[in-house]
Amino acid sequence: MTLSKIFLFCLIHVNWAFFVANAHTKGENEFRYYEHNAPEHVKKFYKENHTKQTLDFVLQQKAKYRPLDKKVMSVWEAFEQLNTLVDESDPDLDLPQIYHAFQTAQAMRKDDQPRWLILTGFIHDLGKVLTLFDEPQWATVGDTFPVGCAYSNKVIFYDYFANNPDWNSTTYQQECGIYNPGCGLKNVHMSWGHDEYLYYVMKNHLPEEALYIIRYHSFYALHKENEYQHLLDDYDKKMLPWLKLFQQYDLYSKSEEKIDIEKLYPYYKKLVAEFLPAKLNW
């Protein structure tokens, strides 16, 4: 994607006056303020997500996207595609995705985090290009959770699971369901969305810590609520601190402050080229 295209997009789609007028720094407990006060569109999103994300659906999506035969494109082309998406599950951000990418990564840069982590922050939501392939938002964004076993009541909008056909399966609603205790998340099927999909795309290119972050960054019931401990193995326990660190940047860097994309672009162009090939399979 050319810089001029990103810039043109911003001029067309972003109402600067609005964002400057509304910019304020949120306190930590103002983020993800869901259940009591969630906007209608966020409730509607989770109702659909929790109703339709069955084990069968997840297995079907994995088989569909695992071959990575849908498209060949660069990271920059993927960003360009994403620019029109506003995440319906996110009560904290109404800006196009590219701003969230820069904000997350910039917050890491300020703290002198390693380059692979800054890159991970920059690209972590690129799996949302699933909407390009006509996937609905309920199968692309939002918090993720294990399927095929009992739902934790700490998963956001837990009550909506009563509408999921898996709710009535005695096997799936055992604590470990179809899994063995301590089997490790690598053996657990998560609800389908941009996390698992981008993990497939990046699998051969990034360090394992980066892949772990990408794969589980929306699993709030784990990294925020410490649920599902019975499914974790030693590898998960080793990786969990990275996930928790990442979450701080993913969430608390969200703001409606303006970012000077033009100035930042050369740094990120170099960073992306350092780790990733010019074109990726999607």
DSSP codes, 58-71: HHHHHHHHTT--S-
Q: Which is nearer to Fe ion, 121 or 177 (CB)?
A: 121
281 pairs with which residues across the strands? 72
At its nearest, how many Å lie between Fe ion and the CB of residue 180?
A: 29
Q: Which is nearer to Fe ion, 98 or 188 (CB)?
A: 98
Q: Tell me which DSSP letter residue 26 carries.
A: P
Q: Which of 45, 53, 42, 35 is nearest to 167 (CA)?
A: 53
List all residues 6 or more positions away from 150 whose beta carbon is below 8 Å from its beta carbon.
Answer: 172, 173, 174, 175, 177
Q: Which is nearer to Fe ion, 10 or 105 (CB)?
A: 105
Q: Which is nearer to Fe ion, 32 or 154 (CB)?
A: 32
Which residues form the interface with Fe ion (CB under 5 A)? 125, 250
At its nearest, how many Å lie between Fe ion and the CB of residue 152?
A: 19
146 pairs with which residues across the strands? 190
**How many Cβ atoms sit within 10 Å of the Cβ of residue 22?**
11
At its nearest, how many Å lie between Fe ion and the CB of residue 107?
A: 12
At its nearest, how many Å lie between Fe ion and the CB of residue 101?
A: 8
Q: Which of 131, 129, 120 is nearest to 216 (CA)?
A: 120
**How many Cβ atoms sit within 10 Å of the Cβ of residue 125?**
26
At its nearest, how many Å lie between Fe ion and the CB of residue 28?
A: 16
Q: Which of 116, 139, 152 is nearest to 196 (CA)?
A: 139
Q: Which is nearer to Fe ion, 251 or 280 (CB)?
A: 251
Q: Which is nearer to Fe ion, 179 or 211 (CB)?
A: 211
At its nearest, how many Å lie between Fe ion and the CB of residue 196?
A: 11
Q: Which is nearer to Fe ion, 48 or 125 (CB)?
A: 125
At its nearest, how many Å lie between Fe ion and the CB of residue 174?
A: 29
**32-61: burial string, b at 16+ Cβ within 10 Å, e else:** bebeeebeeebeebbebbbbbbbbebbeeb
